[in-house]
Amino acid sequence: MGDKVHGNRDWMSHLPDELLDVNLWNLAIPGSHDSMSFCLDLSSPVVESESWLLKAMDRLAPSLIRPCVFRWATTQQAVLSHQCDLGIRFLDLRIARKPKEESKLFFAHGIYTWITVKEALDELSAWLDAHPKEVVIVCCSHFACLTPSDHMRLVDDILSLFGTKLCPAQDCPTLRSCWSKRQQVIVSYDDQEMIQRHPQLWTEIPYWYADSPDPKKVISYLEAQKQKGRPTGFYVSGLNLTENVSFVLLHPFQNMKSITSKALAVLLGWAGEQRAGPQPGCVNIVCCDFVDAAHFCDCVIGLNYKKKKKSALVKCDQHPLKFECD
């Protein structure tokens, strides 16, 4: 599994031949939750979209509030290119406009990042150039305080930067079809107006998350969701924990990394029991926090190597206007 020398940098190009014609939403794909939270800026204010109470507390005592937000909002510690080297192929990009910033967009999770959207996308583009057979799904969402003109500039930048690397939403992507067209990027954009204007953009990808700091409750939630049947196309199973104000107050000496570290054995144990494929109980994208802290990517990528029945290997109907290929 994977490249013995370079880990998971090129894991897609090393998949067995029988998986190269399988829809990408029937493969198991590792993703990072809040991918840009490794570069949160302690000098920035709390994000405008946060609760009025948190913003008021930030104005009164920024030296206390911002470090606390930083501890609990930091969910990754590796730059995008290193995340991709680890095997991550789904990036959760939560985009925001900083107060008093007119021309630049940033990322946000509680507070803003110091790396701009342009800088991050440029880094991703360079990585893709070096790995021409890898396909990355980029999920752009949240859009805190973005104006219509911000959206237009952002989409124009995405289209200009990735160009022919973009896989249009009406396509039914497999690895082989992407390679034949030299497509490497699928962009999910959580704004209907932009989606209607630009066929290169995909609709929002469903993200299952339990909204709990308890790993057992996370697993129970994901199992309950599986019983309802999987969404059509791409979807995400979130292994990430979620804290609330009362949990933070009751755990003053902990942070998101410490509680995630304790939970990883349970969360990855569940992940290792899953299967990839089109059936209702199969996983597609699996997201986690601190993806460089354990063998998360190895675990998810390995699901593609589990023995499958022939009926599970559903190949894509290459009709250009057909989206539901299963």
Structure-block tokens of residue 227: 């019983």
Q: Rounded distance, CA 200 to CA 140, Å?
A: 13
The yes-or-no answer on residue 6 being catalytic is: no
Indicate which residue of 6, 14, 33, 142 is catalytic.
33
Sequence-ordered list of residues with C-beta below 8 angstroms from that of 30, at least 6 positions apart, any chain: 86, 87, 88, 89, 90, 285, 286, 287, 288, 291, 296, 297, 300, 301
Q: How many CB atoms are closer than 10 A to CB 140?
A: 24
Q: Rounded distance, CA 299 to CA 153, Å?
A: 38
Residue 87: which of 8, 180, 6 has the closest Cα? 8
Contact 189, 202 (CB under 8 A): yes
C-alpha dist (Å) from residue 161 to 57, 193, 201, 293: 39, 21, 14, 31
The yes-or-no answer on residue 198 being catalytic is: no
Q: Three-class SS of residue 134? A: coil
Indicate which residue of 6, 14, 82, 109 is catalytic.
109
* Catalytic residue list: 33, 109
